[in-house]
Structure formats: C-alpha cells, structure tokens
Amino acid sequence: MQLLSEEAMEGDNIQSPLGRCDWEGDDIQLHLHHGSTENYEGLVRNYKQNGLMIILLTNQEHKNLYDIADNIYELSPRSVAKN
C-alpha cells in the first residue's frame, strides 16, 4: 500500500496509483483520490479518524469537488462529534 501511494512524476503530472495517502507509521491517516476526463470528474476522500468517506461523481467538470467534499464534511455529524 505504501509503495502504491508514493508520488511518481510523469511529465508535468505528479500522481500515484492510489491518489494521496498521508501515513503515520503503518497507518493511513488521510486518503483521497481525484480524477477527471472529458466532462467527467470524481473524488474519493476518506476521513478515517471520523469514520467518514465521501465519494463524489459528476458529468460536469467544474474543479470544485474538493470544496463540495469539505462542505459535506463540515456539515456531517461525525465532523461535529470530533470537534
């Protein structure tokens, strides 16, 4: 898992097969993956510490899925419980 989450540079693009993973020892603290093609866009964001995963898929690429995921997280009872 750690090997697949290491960033690789390809041209001007930096990415990894699993998206972004922040590790603390052998434990993933944050996992997110974003991708787009043509008009389609998707984002998977795992808030492990709160037991919450947000998956967004759209056929309108507006580059705003991170903002939408952050808003959903802030409104979720699991976010409030942590704070």
pLDDT of residue 68: 94
pLDDT tens, residue by residue, 42-73 = 999 988 888 889 999 999 888 899 999 999 99
**Ramachandran class of 63: left when φ > 0, alpha when ψ lies in -120 to 50, beta otherwise:** left
pTM assigned to the model: 0.69
Nearest to 44 by CA among 52, 56, 62: 56
pLDDT of residue 42: 92
pLDDT of residue 44: 92
pLDDT tens, residue by residue, 24-47 = 888 888 888 888 888 899 999 988
